[in-house]
Structure 1
Amino acid sequence: MNPHLLRTFVAVLDHRSFSTAASELGYTQSAVSQHIAALEADLGTRLIERRPVAPTAAGARLMEHAPALLLLLDAARADITRLHHANPTRLTLAHTPAALGPAVAQALAQLRTTTHPLDLEVRVLSQAAVIENVLTGSADIGLVDGAAAPSDPLPLPNLGPSTTTLAAAEQTLAVLFPLGHPLAGRASVRLTDLTQAQWIDAPDTAIPLDRLRAVCRADGFRPRIRHRGTDLHGLAALAAAGHGLAALPLPLAAALPGLAAVPVAEPRLVHRTELIHPANPTDAARQLADLVTDRQSTPGDGRR
């Protein structure tokens, strides 16, 4: 399957337009049509309906695979490029909003004392964007977070053989309540008692609601509002004003104004942070990984 044809296929369905895909990719519309026809001939089935532009059943199935396949190809290219063009004094760290805590900040400060000069850039992104940044070489190292059973890894997508994932931290998981909420004074709560409560759907900032449904093996956790983006303080303001509940690590949640952070007692969960870096990281990325995970060396410890 030709990756150039596959990229054209994804662009057409992303934009629901042959002409817009052509403009984005720098092709003529005729070339885009030829790419789709060639891909359909290769797979022996029609993939895209032309009027209106929409996937067929086969096209929808291919679309489930295509972005991940293209991302792994980009990761392979970045891995090879990194061997010859790594900058030892530059470090780009991408992280989800709740993943960068005091320990990481202190590790960055320590790294700056040993690496001169260090050109440091920190990006706050969604989990998907952090993973994409690391796989494609746009970021040297990433931090992602989520809810998991103690010592269990996060349920991340397949990152391929060129990426290493390491445990960075485990903290108590807490639910954010506005100060006047009846449960705000509790010593702990059970998530299963909150399935019918109103929640804020903030998958890029807090624990995603579909993850809470999965770990509790229950329906519910219905959103009152949807919050998109990585604005942690905006999410906190919404929760404090009573727009809905959200789940975050206890140390971070306890520092947010106007809220009560109540630890989760059941099911037995932790807020877990994991560090992602290429299998052949830059020197700065390797040193940061060692500092964050309190390790003396990195080889052989990755789970992916």
Structure 2
Amino acid sequence: MEPLSTAFTIDLRRLTVLRELQRRGSVARTAEALHLTPSAVSQQLSALAREFGVPLTERDGRGLRLTGQARVLLSHADLIAAQLERARSDLAAYAEGGRGTVVVGCFSSGILGLLPPALRALRERLPELRVDIVEAEPPDLFTALDGGQVDVAVAVDFAAAPAHTDARYTREDLLTDVLDIALPRGHRLAGHAEVRLRDLATEPWIIGRASSCCGAVTRSVCAASGFTPDVRHAVDDWAALSGLVEAGAGVALVPRLVRSVYAGRELAIRPAAGAAPSRNVFVAVRAGAEGDPVLRVVREELRAAANVLRG
């Protein structure tokens, strides 16, 4: 390739494509996440390689892998993105914030248990602020955060979530959400004060999709207890899941964040014996955006709501 000119310019959108390719691992998945065609993704990557005068991808069987030069560029791309967010934050601070719209992306049980008290408090503190909620989970949630469609991400740590060390985000842990065992009221173990997960190895299970945070966590918890659950019903809606358990269709793990959904059901909710299965809930913004005065207030109220839930 031609050497890099001292007067070169960069299309930042092409850096976004490269960052998404690093996250997704293939052109097809990158195209789907960014709502582009695979051809458009390849063209953007080729154009970025020409701008820098270095190869950014190389063939790996039928797919592509990033070159060493691409990984060097990505480390700078994270810094560029963070600096742009700091500029945005400084401008928002200059205007003193409190107006406009903030979009919060959150997983379903977080919307049920964590967001309502935070939203009520935000209406009191910033009555002119509009807060929009989008239900989303990693990795799509963080693609939306990277692209600016979401300003604040509330998520659960699991395989699809970004690592704690990911420099693209400023993150903060909010709470540990414990998972209890939901049994039909007449189940043979319903009278026990606590239940060993291993004792449910032969039961039919009701679990969310493997790609969902709770579905993934439930499967990993069962695996750690020494068995693979017999998933009879794949259900992501907590009210529907509770109804199926109540009807005797199976057993499930339910997060305490959604206890309001199953509180009135004919269920036996029992803690798991031993170390309680749980999931870590965190909030993240784009690196550099942590100084934005409005996002700071949103994060403060999420922390306050989490503190109440922790008791």
Relative to the length of structure 1, the TM-score reads 0.65
Describe the shift of the 1:250–1:102 C-alpha distance in structure 2 as closer, same or farther (beyond 3 A). closer
Code of the residue aligned with 2:144 in structure 1: it is N
CA shift at 1:125, angstroms?
A: 1.7
- Whether contact under 8 Å (1:141, 1:285) holds in the other structure is yes
Which of residues 168, 171, 174 is equivalent to 1:165?
Answer: 171
- Whether contact under 8 Å (1:205, 1:231) holds in the other structure is no
Unaligned runs of 5+ residues in structure 2 are 1-13, 306-311
2:150 counterpart of 1:139: yes
The corresponding residue for 1:249 is: 255
Classify the secondary structure of the residue corresponding to 2:298: helix
The corresponding residue for 1:293 is: 303
Classify the secondary structure of the residue corresponding to 2:150: coil
The corresponding residue for 2:273 is: 265
How is 1:1-304 mapped onto 2 (pairs within 5 angstroms)? 10-12=26-28, 21-22=38-39, 25=40, 42=55, 46-49=59-62, 55=63, 59=64, 77=81, 80-81=84-85, 83-84=87-88, 88-89=98-99, 90-100=101-111, 102=113, 104-145=115-156, 156-158=162-164, 160-202=166-208, 203=210, 204=212, 206-208=214-216, 209-213=218-222, 215-216=224-225, 218-227=226-235, 230-250=236-256, 252-253=258-259, 255-256=261-262, 257-279=265-287, 280-281=289-290, 282-294=292-304
CA shift at 1:174, angstroms?
A: 0.5
Q: What CA distance in whole angstroms lies between the structure 2 residues aligned with 1:164 and 1:142? A: 10
Q: What CA distance in whole angstroms lies between the structure 2 residues aligned with 1:82 and 1:191? A: 47
Percent of residue pairs bearing the same amino acid type: 20
Deviations 1:64-95 (A, max 9, x none): xx9xx98x958954761563375752221111
Structure with more of its chain in helix, by fraction = 2
- Whether contact under 8 Å (1:74, 1:135) holds in the other structure is no
Number of equivalenced pairs = 262
Q: What CA distance in whole angstroms lies between the structure 2 residues aligned with 1:75 and 1:137? A: 16
Describe the shift of the 1:224–1:276 C-alpha distance in structure 2 as closer, same or farther (beyond 3 A). same
Classify the secondary structure of the residue corresponding to 2:273: strand
CA shift at 1:198, angstroms?
A: 2.5
Relative to the length of structure 2, the TM-score reads 0.64
- Whether contact under 8 Å (1:250, 1:263) holds in the other structure is no
Q: What CA distance in whole angstroms lies between the structure 2 residues aligned with 1:7 and 1:94? A: 18
- Whether contact under 8 Å (2:221, 2:277) holds in the other structure is no
Q: What CA distance in whole angstroms lies between the structure 2 residues aligned with 1:6 and 1:206? A: 27
